[in-house]
Amino acid sequence: MTDAEDLLRALAPHVLGVLARRIGNFAEAEDAVQEALLAASVSWPVDGVPDDPAAWLQRVAFRRFVDAYRGDEARRRRELIVASWSLAPPPALEATDDTLTCMYLCCHPVLSPSLAIPLTLRAVGGLTTEQIAAAFLVPVPTMGQRISRAKAKLRAADAPFAAPPAGELAHRLRSVLHVLYLIFNEGYTATRGDELARAALSDRAIALTRLLHAARRDDADVAGLLALMLLTDARRPARTNDRGDIVPLAEQNRARWDRAMITEGLGILNAAMRRGPLGEYALQACIAALHDQARTADATRWAEIAVLYERLERLTQNPMVRLNRAIAMGMATTPQAGLDLLDDIDSTLAGHHRTHATRAHLLEAAGRRSEAAEHYRLAAAGATNARERNHLVLRASELGNGGHADESTGDPRTLWSTEGVGLA
């Protein structure tokens, strides 16, 4: 991830907010900003980043909008309106952050969560359609159609670019939280690329969740999500070695974990737990806390983690949770207990590379080395992140060549559980 790409992702919501206010239509503004971002991704690496990158993006986006507007069927009627607009350099960005406003608008009541969340991930999170499709386990064309439908519905609704009415906040908040969660996950373990993580994305997700928490301090779900992010991201410094290779959780130097971040996360989690029943994010934060509080890998309270995963699976009905639950059961009892949980895995995940990696980890722990090596190879074939793929290939090679078994390896990290028992 280049510095220019990080800058584009950070500026996009601000530029989108300015343009949406100026032209009065969020969906058309989003189209124009996407074109400006594409133009910048081509121009800036060659010509350099402009002195005022925000103004550059605003100017290009507005011109793209004007060009599209002039091409409409009602061109003659609209020419008078277009002529009244100025193409002078736009004003500087306001000090306020429009990102949360953009997120709330993308999660408008006219959109179902299946449409709102992908649109927000693209418009605000800066994820590509390919990355979003991978997060939802659907083909890329299917996800592209969803995003197009979402924009069409928002365009028809003609919703103002403003914070939602108080009565709609709770309805939109669940989708906003899911978006922030997925942005963090993509940053913590990138879907594609040569590096395991995209720190700028996870940092952005944490910053946005902090903003939301500051505005809604009494909301247990918001607090649970922020705690989860902090308790998970605290392990980032130890997740890879100097070469960028993956270091499994059990092998990590825990002295490198960010203790200040862990302390903050525990404080936020404890406050959330006092407010009422644990939601899906707080449950995951509890799991992260158990890992962070274990002084050594052997001291991990796996039985408690397994119980929490069982509660999480009942609450969410999400098949991805089963993978981490299987690992936790295998560590708390026997590897076979974990393998038994995988026997009735949801059909949509039966051939997923994370399912193969989880099965490989459990087979390796059970001493079934040749079977484990085969599933590591299958997992590697499906992995799209280069660091994950290299790690899985190495495990398959070591087992196939009679290397020493290592019960800490495997790849059970899922979109619904950022723990990653094997990768952390």
Lowest mean pLDDT, pick from 50-59, 83-92, 115-124, 332-341: 83-92
- Which long-range contacts link 136-144 to residues 24+ away (Cβ below 8 Å)? 137/348, 137/349, 137/352, 143/118
Q: Hey, what amino acid is at 325?
A: R
Q: Provide the 8-state DSSP code for 92.
A: P
Is 285 inside any structural domain?
yes
Mean pLDDT of 198-219: 89
Query: Could you tell me the CATH number of the domain that includes residue 341?
Result: 1.25.40.10
Instruction: State pLDDT tens for residues 296-330.
Output: 999 999 999 999 999 999 999 888 999 999 999 99
Segments forming the whole domain that contains residue 391: 236-400
Q: Report whether pLDDT(281) > 80.
A: yes
Is 362 inside any structural domain?
yes
Tokens at 350, concatenated:
């039966």
Query: For the whole model, what pTM was predicted?
Result: 0.78
Q: What are phi and psi of 30, to 5 degrees?
A: -65, -40
Q: Report whether pLDDT(414) > 90.
A: no
Is 116 inside any structural domain?
no
Instruction: State pLDDT tens for residues 396-413.
Output: 999 976 544 333 333 333
Mean pLDDT of 198-224: 90
Is 395 inside any structural domain?
yes
Mean pLDDT of 214-233: 94
Interatomic CA distance for residues 363 and 144, integer angstroms: 38
* Residue 423 pLDDT class (50, 70, 90 cuts): very low
Q: Hey, what amino acid is at 329?
A: M
Per-residue model confidence (pLDDT) at position 75: 53
**Whole-number percent of the chain with pLDDT over 90:** 43
Mean pLDDT of 417-422: 41
Number of folded domains that form the chain? 1
Instruction: State pLDDT tens for residues 173-195.
Output: 888 898 899 889 988 998 888 88
Is 190 inside any structural domain?
no
Is 231 inside any structural domain?
no
Q: How many CB atoms lie within 10 A of CB 219?
A: 19
Tokens at 258, concatenated:
């960010």
Instruction: State pLDDT tens for residues 55-76.
Output: 899 889 888 888 777 665 455 4
* Residue 370 pLDDT class (50, 70, 90 cuts): very high
Q: Report whether pLDDT(19) > 60.
A: yes
Is 414 inside any structural domain?
no
Q: Report whether pLDDT(421) > 50.
A: no
Q: What is the DSSP string of 264-314?
A: HHHHHHHHHHTTSS--HHHHHHHHHHHHHH-SSGGG--HHHHHHHHHHHHH
* Residue 366 pLDDT class (50, 70, 90 cuts): very high
Q: What are phi and psi of 138, to 5 degrees?
A: -130, 160
Q: Report whether pLDDT(92) > 60.
A: no
Is 289 inside any structural domain?
yes
Tokens at 52, concatenated:
């005022």
